[in-house]
């Protein structure tokens, strides 16, 4: 069901090798995530759903804004996960992880963006709102998004450890009392992964047991 994000005929994407599929750290020094691994099938994760391809430039534009917010988080020493909420074609709220600074594991990007949204609109308007987030929502956030009735979620890279939109649990689509929501991954996936890699080669002074990372090198291949 997925299709390549690259334009038809684009030969710029190399055939993945064993080296390309090595793990990248999502360190337990962070908030609630211990590690995300590169998926076994890199090719599948580099493909996009046809529904996304219909308006690819629009989706990329909104995800680019989320990536930019994640860059701000990284510059501030925070886990570079960020999101934007889009209502009636416009970004009306932004959020970035605040778990390191606040030492509060619930202050994920999605929760902060929702708080901003609710300061402007009634909760019912979330049913007409889409979320663009750099990393697949965790199980906690995926559940909250479903309870709020988010219309759709688009994310960059998957979360093999705690993903709530299909990587671990399909909270967004499993049978439940609340109506589920569609979720599409892979938009600027490589950029999202590189942000995480850049963060996890740094020292995390807020970690319970900081680990020396001076000998770590940034892996440029995704």
Q: Active-site positions?
A: 110
Contact 195, 17 (CB under 8 A): no
Q: How long is the chain? A: 222
Report d(CA 153, CA 159) in Å as an integer. 14
Contact 174, 152 (CB under 8 A): no
Cross-strand pairs, 154: 132, 184
Contact 109, 144 (CB under 8 A): no
**Residue burial 96-126, b: 16+ Cβ < 10 Å; e: rest:** bbbbbeeeeeebbbbbbbbeebeeebeeebb
CA-closest candidate to residue 108, choices 58, 60, 159, 152? 159
Q: Distance of alpha carbon 197 from its chain centroid, rounded? A: 14
Contact 213, 200 (CB under 8 A): yes
Contact 40, 21 (CB under 8 A): yes
CA-closest candidate to residue 79, choices 162, 177, 172? 162
For residue 47, the 8-state DSSP code is: E
């Amino acid at each position: 069901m997925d299709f390549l994000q690259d334009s038809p005929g684009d030969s710029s994407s190399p055939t993945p090798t064993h080296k390309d599929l090595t793990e990248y750290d999502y360190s337990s020094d962070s908030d609630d995530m211990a590690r995300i691994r590169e998926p076994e099938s890199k090719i599948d994760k580099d493909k996009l759903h046809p529904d996304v391809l219909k308006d690819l430039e629009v989706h990329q534009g909104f995800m680019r804004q989320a990536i930019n917010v994640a860059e701000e988080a990284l510059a501030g020493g925070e886990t570079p996960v960020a999101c934007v909420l889009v209502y009636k074609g416009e970004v009306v709220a932004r959020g970035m992880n605040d778990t390191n600074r606040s030492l509060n594991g619930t202050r994920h990007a999605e929760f902060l963006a929702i708080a901003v949204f609710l300061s402007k609109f009634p909760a019912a308007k979330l049913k007409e709102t889409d979320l663009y987030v750099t990393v697949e929502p965790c199980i906690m956030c995926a559940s909250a998004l479903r309870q709020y009735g988010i219309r759709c979620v688009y994310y960059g890279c998957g979360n093999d450890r705690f993903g709530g939109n299909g990587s671990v649990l399909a909270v967004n689509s499993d049978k439940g009392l609340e109506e589920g929501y569609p979720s599409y991954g892979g938009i600027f996936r490589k950029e999202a992964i590189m942000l995480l890699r850049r963060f996890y080669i740094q020292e995390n002074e807020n970690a319970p047991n900081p680990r020396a990372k001076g000998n770590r090198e940034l892996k440029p291949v995704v």
